[in-house]
Amino acid sequence: MSPLPELPTDDRPWVYLASQSPRRRQLLEQWGVTCVPLLPDPDEDAEALEVHQPGESPAAYVRRVTRLKVRAAEARRRRRGWPDGVVLCADTTVADGATILGKPADAAEATRMLQRLAGRRHQVLTAVAVARAGRTWLALSRTQVTFKPLGDDEIAAYVASGEPFGKAGAYGIQGHAGLWVRRLCGSYTGVVGLPAYETAELLRRAGLALR
Protein backbone atom coordinates (compact mmCIF):
# COMPACT_ATOMS: atom_id res chain seq x y z
CA MET A 1 0.00 0.00 0.00
CA SER A 2 1.26 3.48 -0.86
CA PRO A 3 2.02 5.66 2.17
CA LEU A 4 -0.61 8.21 3.11
CA PRO A 5 0.13 11.59 1.53
CA GLU A 6 0.70 14.71 3.59
CA LEU A 7 -2.56 16.62 3.40
CA PRO A 8 -3.07 20.33 4.22
CA THR A 9 -4.07 20.80 7.83
CA ASP A 10 -5.50 24.31 7.47
CA ASP A 11 -8.52 25.55 5.52
CA ARG A 12 -6.71 25.86 2.17
CA PRO A 13 -8.55 24.15 -0.70
CA TRP A 14 -6.78 21.05 -2.01
CA VAL A 15 -7.32 18.31 -4.59
CA TYR A 16 -5.91 14.97 -5.53
CA LEU A 17 -4.36 15.72 -8.92
CA ALA A 18 -4.25 12.66 -11.15
CA SER A 19 -2.04 14.25 -13.80
CA GLN A 20 1.69 14.44 -14.40
CA SER A 21 1.34 17.76 -16.22
CA PRO A 22 3.38 20.48 -14.50
CA ARG A 23 1.25 23.06 -16.29
CA ARG A 24 -1.95 21.85 -14.64
CA ARG A 25 -0.29 21.85 -11.24
CA GLN A 26 1.02 25.38 -11.80
CA LEU A 27 -2.40 26.67 -12.81
CA LEU A 28 -4.11 25.14 -9.79
CA GLU A 29 -1.48 26.54 -7.45
CA GLN A 30 -1.90 29.98 -9.05
CA TRP A 31 -5.59 29.72 -8.16
CA GLY A 32 -4.76 28.89 -4.54
CA VAL A 33 -5.36 25.14 -4.73
CA THR A 34 -2.86 22.75 -3.13
CA CYS A 35 -2.20 19.63 -5.23
CA VAL A 36 -1.68 16.16 -3.78
CA PRO A 37 -0.32 13.86 -6.54
CA LEU A 38 -2.43 10.79 -7.28
CA LEU A 39 -0.37 9.19 -10.06
CA PRO A 40 -0.78 5.70 -11.54
CA ASP A 41 0.90 2.71 -9.97
CA PRO A 42 3.75 1.10 -11.97
CA ASP A 43 1.50 -1.79 -13.02
CA GLU A 44 -1.24 0.50 -14.40
CA ASP A 45 -1.39 0.94 -18.18
CA ALA A 46 -2.41 4.59 -18.17
CA GLU A 47 -1.63 5.03 -21.88
CA ALA A 48 -4.23 2.42 -22.80
CA LEU A 49 -6.97 4.81 -21.67
CA GLU A 50 -6.02 7.26 -24.44
CA VAL A 51 -6.51 4.91 -27.39
CA HIS A 52 -8.78 6.50 -30.00
CA GLN A 53 -11.78 4.44 -31.10
CA PRO A 54 -12.70 4.27 -34.82
CA GLY A 55 -15.22 6.90 -35.83
CA GLU A 56 -15.01 8.71 -32.49
CA SER A 57 -15.28 12.49 -32.70
CA PRO A 58 -12.64 14.62 -30.94
CA ALA A 59 -15.20 15.86 -28.38
CA ALA A 60 -16.48 12.36 -27.63
CA TYR A 61 -12.91 11.10 -27.40
CA VAL A 62 -11.68 13.67 -24.89
CA ARG A 63 -14.79 13.31 -22.73
CA ARG A 64 -14.52 9.52 -22.67
CA VAL A 65 -10.80 9.51 -21.87
CA THR A 66 -11.22 12.03 -19.06
CA ARG A 67 -14.09 10.07 -17.55
CA LEU A 68 -12.01 6.90 -17.65
CA LYS A 69 -9.07 8.70 -16.07
CA VAL A 70 -11.05 10.06 -13.14
CA ARG A 71 -12.66 6.65 -12.51
CA ALA A 72 -9.24 5.01 -12.50
CA ALA A 73 -7.88 7.70 -10.18
CA GLU A 74 -10.75 7.38 -7.72
CA ALA A 75 -10.32 3.59 -7.69
CA ARG A 76 -6.59 4.13 -7.08
CA ARG A 77 -7.30 6.40 -4.11
CA ARG A 78 -9.63 3.83 -2.55
CA ARG A 79 -7.19 0.99 -3.21
CA ARG A 80 -4.44 2.91 -1.42
CA GLY A 81 -6.68 3.66 1.53
CA TRP A 82 -6.22 7.41 1.21
CA PRO A 83 -8.80 9.78 2.76
CA ASP A 84 -11.78 11.02 0.77
CA GLY A 85 -11.20 14.20 -1.20
CA VAL A 86 -11.77 15.86 -4.53
CA VAL A 87 -10.04 14.02 -7.38
CA LEU A 88 -9.27 16.06 -10.50
CA CYS A 89 -8.34 14.81 -13.98
CA ALA A 90 -8.10 16.49 -17.36
CA ASP A 91 -7.24 15.61 -20.94
CA THR A 92 -6.42 17.88 -23.86
CA THR A 93 -6.57 17.09 -27.56
CA VAL A 94 -5.97 19.11 -30.70
CA ALA A 95 -8.30 18.56 -33.63
CA ASP A 96 -8.02 19.52 -37.29
CA GLY A 97 -11.61 19.03 -38.30
CA ALA A 98 -12.49 15.47 -37.29
CA THR A 99 -8.83 14.42 -37.12
CA ILE A 100 -7.27 14.12 -33.67
CA LEU A 101 -3.66 15.27 -33.37
CA GLY A 102 -2.26 13.65 -30.25
CA LYS A 103 1.23 13.68 -28.77
CA PRO A 104 3.86 13.17 -31.49
CA ALA A 105 5.86 9.97 -31.28
CA ASP A 106 8.97 11.44 -32.91
CA ALA A 107 10.40 14.49 -34.68
CA ALA A 108 8.99 13.49 -38.05
CA GLU A 109 5.44 13.26 -36.70
CA ALA A 110 5.82 16.56 -34.82
CA THR A 111 6.97 18.22 -38.05
CA ARG A 112 3.98 16.86 -39.99
CA MET A 113 1.55 18.07 -37.34
CA LEU A 114 2.98 21.60 -37.29
CA GLN A 115 3.02 21.77 -41.08
CA ARG A 116 -0.63 20.80 -41.02
CA LEU A 117 -1.55 23.50 -38.48
CA ALA A 118 0.57 26.29 -40.02
CA GLY A 119 -1.48 29.20 -41.36
CA ARG A 120 -4.78 27.54 -40.44
CA ARG A 121 -7.37 27.36 -37.69
CA HIS A 122 -7.69 24.32 -35.45
CA GLN A 123 -9.61 23.39 -32.32
CA VAL A 124 -8.26 22.59 -28.86
CA LEU A 125 -10.55 20.60 -26.59
CA THR A 126 -9.88 20.08 -22.89
CA ALA A 127 -12.19 18.00 -20.74
CA VAL A 128 -12.03 18.31 -16.96
CA ALA A 129 -13.53 15.88 -14.48
CA VAL A 130 -13.74 15.92 -10.71
CA ALA A 131 -14.94 13.10 -8.47
CA ARG A 132 -15.90 13.02 -4.82
CA ALA A 133 -17.86 10.62 -2.63
CA GLY A 134 -19.08 8.51 -5.53
CA ARG A 135 -20.15 11.43 -7.73
CA THR A 136 -18.47 12.72 -10.89
CA TRP A 137 -18.78 16.05 -12.68
CA LEU A 138 -17.36 16.76 -16.15
CA ALA A 139 -17.04 19.82 -18.38
CA LEU A 140 -15.62 20.47 -21.84
CA SER A 141 -13.76 23.56 -23.04
CA ARG A 142 -13.52 24.30 -26.78
CA THR A 143 -11.09 26.88 -28.15
CA GLN A 144 -10.37 27.93 -31.72
CA VAL A 145 -6.70 28.73 -32.41
CA THR A 146 -5.31 30.20 -35.62
CA PHE A 147 -1.59 29.94 -36.40
CA LYS A 148 0.35 32.25 -38.65
CA PRO A 149 2.06 30.64 -41.69
CA LEU A 150 5.25 28.83 -40.65
CA GLY A 151 8.41 28.24 -42.65
CA ASP A 152 10.20 24.90 -42.70
CA ASP A 153 13.19 26.35 -40.85
CA GLU A 154 10.96 27.76 -38.12
CA ILE A 155 9.24 24.40 -37.64
CA ALA A 156 12.56 22.52 -37.68
CA ALA A 157 14.02 24.80 -35.00
CA TYR A 158 10.95 24.37 -32.81
CA VAL A 159 10.99 20.60 -33.13
CA ALA A 160 14.74 20.56 -32.35
CA SER A 161 14.03 22.48 -29.13
CA GLY A 162 12.13 19.46 -27.81
CA GLU A 163 9.10 21.53 -26.83
CA PRO A 164 6.58 19.65 -29.04
CA PHE A 165 7.02 16.32 -27.28
CA GLY A 166 4.49 15.25 -24.71
CA LYS A 167 2.01 17.84 -25.99
CA ALA A 168 -1.13 17.32 -28.04
CA GLY A 169 -0.78 18.82 -31.50
CA ALA A 170 3.00 19.06 -31.04
CA TYR A 171 3.01 22.48 -29.40
CA GLY A 172 2.67 24.31 -26.11
CA ILE A 173 0.98 27.69 -26.29
CA GLN A 174 2.71 28.79 -23.06
CA GLY A 175 6.09 28.43 -24.80
CA HIS A 176 7.55 29.69 -28.06
CA ALA A 177 4.53 28.51 -30.04
CA GLY A 178 2.49 31.23 -28.36
CA LEU A 179 4.22 33.66 -30.72
CA TRP A 180 2.52 31.93 -33.66
CA VAL A 181 -1.05 32.49 -32.48
CA ARG A 182 -2.76 35.09 -34.65
CA ARG A 183 -6.16 34.58 -33.06
CA LEU A 184 -7.64 32.69 -30.13
CA CYS A 185 -11.35 32.36 -29.44
CA GLY A 186 -12.13 30.55 -26.21
CA SER A 187 -10.02 29.73 -23.16
CA TYR A 188 -6.28 30.35 -23.10
CA THR A 189 -5.90 28.23 -19.96
CA GLY A 190 -7.91 25.53 -21.71
CA VAL A 191 -5.24 25.38 -24.40
CA VAL A 192 -2.55 25.24 -21.71
CA GLY A 193 -4.36 22.21 -20.30
CA LEU A 194 -6.86 23.28 -17.61
CA PRO A 195 -9.67 25.77 -18.40
CA ALA A 196 -10.06 28.19 -15.51
CA TYR A 197 -13.80 28.85 -15.63
CA GLU A 198 -14.86 25.23 -16.11
CA THR A 199 -12.45 23.98 -13.45
CA ALA A 200 -13.68 26.50 -10.87
CA GLU A 201 -17.31 25.59 -11.57
CA LEU A 202 -16.66 21.85 -11.17
CA LEU A 203 -14.72 22.34 -7.95
CA ARG A 204 -17.55 24.45 -6.58
CA ARG A 205 -20.07 21.73 -7.43
CA ALA A 206 -17.86 19.23 -5.61
CA GLY A 207 -17.91 21.46 -2.52
CA LEU A 208 -14.54 23.13 -2.98
CA ALA A 209 -14.94 26.89 -3.41
CA LEU A 210 -11.95 28.85 -4.66
CA ARG A 211 -11.15 32.07 -2.84
* Model confidence pLDDT, tens digit, residues 22-43: 999 999 999 999 999 999 888 8
Q: In this model, does residue 1 exceed pLDDT 70? A: no
- The answer to whether 153 is a known catalytic residue is no
The model's pTM is 0.92
pLDDT tens figures, 79-130: 999 999 999 999 999 999 999 999 999 999 999 999 999 999 999 999 999 9
Exactly one of 91, 106, 152, 153 is catalytic; name it: 91
pLDDT in tens, 159-209: 999 999 999 999 999 999 999 999 999 999 999 999 999 999 999 999 998
Q: Give the domain ranges of the chain.
A: 14-205
Residue 150: its pLDDT value, please? 97
Quick one: 78 exposed, middle or buried, by C-beta within 10 A (0-12, 13-18, 19+)? exposed
- Write out pLDDT tens, residues 152-161: 999 999 999 9
Q: Which fold has domain 14-205?
A: Maf protein (3.90.950)
- Residue 193, φ and ψ in degrees, nearest 5: 140, -5
What sign for the dihedral angle of Cα 148, 153, 157, 163? positive
DSSP labels, 137-181: EEEEEEEEEEEPP--HHHHHHHHHTTTTTTSGGG--TTTGGGGGE
